Structure 1
Amino acid sequence: MTETEILAAVQQFSKSKMGDDETGHGFDHIQRVVGLADRLVQQYPEADRVLTVTAAYLHDVIDEKLVADTAQASKEVRYFLAQQSFTTDQIETIFLIMDNMSYHKTLDGTAKPLPLEGKIVQDADRLDAIGAIGISRAIYFGGHFGEKIYDPAIQPRTEMTHAEYRNLNNETIINHFYEKLLTLKDLMNTEAAKKMAEHRQQVMLDFLAEYKAEWNAKA
């Protein structure tokens, strides 16, 4: 199979799994992460583009917050990749990326070091979590799960565990910016992503300032 044929098959598989998502992690998100990862990988020729783009397409397919049976989902992905002629080592690299790039892994300290391809995909995923798109996704996700939008009496949580991070009863949508989204700029791996994150960070800061001014009838 050619590179184009492989990636077309991976795209279709991802779409079949994530096309119906209603949490802000749907196929539109996948496509943006792929686009960002493909932009970033062009600046790092030592990275394997096929592995990078494949991991970007599949990064949410086995995510615990989106999939009821992660073991079964992982089994399906492994079978699919083998059918596309990925080697055992390539499949293990893709799973290393998928299993260790999530933000919650940084909270419990269980994340394994990512290869360059994984760092690029992680950066792309984090870039799509901030800026104007990040604002809309945060509101969409919080609304889907019935989160409170804002309550000045509820302070942002600090030094969360994995369990606390997943407990949406203790979070507001606005606090999520302080608890996670505003921290992502400084967690970018590549210099290219760090530069891209600067503008998106300012978009969020401007939004929060305006939101609170309007909330307090000051604007």
Structure 2
Amino acid sequence: MIKEPLKKTIENYVHQLFDRDPTGHDYYHMKRVAHWSKVLAEKEGADPFICEVAGWLHDVGDAKLFPEPVQAREHAMRFLSEQGITEHVCWQIKIAMEDVSFSKGQTPKTLEGKIVQDADRLDAIGAIGIARTFAFGGAHSQLIHQEGKETSGSIQHFYDKLLKLSDLIHTKSARKEAQIRHQYMLDYLQRFLGEWEVVNE
């Protein structure tokens, strides 16, 4: 668990980086991932401090969000060091952040990394995941749905990624929540496609 005032300092740092993001990778996404990272760490016997900090910073240096990813990640590590966090702990946080992204297709090396990845994936599914999908699609000029064109549209993203995530969860503590959110998406898609087809028959 991050103690005050360090937590506030990290929150402010993340807020400055992500407050204006319109793609679903905003400050509140980081806050939710940090929260779930801490909760899962406490249940799974991992280091809550490393997990929570890595949760806050996990998207720093994402190539989708930063024009200079390496520099952004290095700046984040310097920021942590300036807060008095030891070099060894900074290294552990960096490792926990490294392979979180779905697009990398990697399994994190440490339990802390797996927990942060689980927390990030939980935020990609369920009701919030649905909202984030359409936010990301709109920000990138994607259509909501396009019949017969499987490579485009936000609805296709459910089949390409979101419906696969519950089977990729590492920890028992995250799996139950992932299953609930997965079912919510299935129910949503059934309703969406039913309403779509009524006027497109």
* TM class by smaller structure: over 0.9
Per-residue CA deviation, residues 44-69 of structure 1 (Å, 9 max, x unaligned), is: 2x311111100000011211100111
d(CA) in 2 for partners of 1:74, 1:124: 20
1:123 equivalenced with 2:103 (yes/no) = no
Per-residue CA deviation, residues 80-121 of structure 1 (Å, 9 max, x unaligned), is: 011112222222222222221110111xxxx36431111111
d(CA) in 1 for partners of 2:77, 2:103: 23
d(CA) in 1 for partners of 2:161, 2:127: 15
1:20-169 to structure 2, matched below 5 A, reads 20-44=20-44, 46-106=45-105, 111=106, 113-155=108-150
**Structure 1 segments (4+ residues) deviating >2 Å:** 2-8, 111-114
Q: What's the offset of the Cα at 1:33?
A: 1.1
Q: Identity over the aligned pairs, expressed in percent?
A: 38
1:206 alignment partner in structure 2: 187
Unaligned runs of 5+ in 2: none
Per-residue CA deviation, residues 176-215 of structure 1 (Å, 9 max, x unaligned), is: 0000000000000100101001110011001111111111
TM-score by length of 1: 0.85
Q: 1:137 to 1:154 in 2, by over 3 A?
A: same
d(CA) in 1 for partners of 2:87, 2:38: 23
2:10 alignment partner in structure 1: 10
Work out which of the residue numbers 140, 150, 175 in structure 2 matches 1:194.
175
1:165 alignment partner in structure 2: none
d(CA) in 2 for partners of 1:194, 1:16: 32
Per-residue CA deviation, residues 114-142 of structure 1 (Å, 9 max, x unaligned), is: 31111111111100100011111101110
Q: Give me the CA root mean square deviation.
A: 1.5
Q: What's the offset of the Cα at 1:7?
A: 2.4
SS of the aligned residue for 1:4 comes to coil
Equivalenced residue count is 198
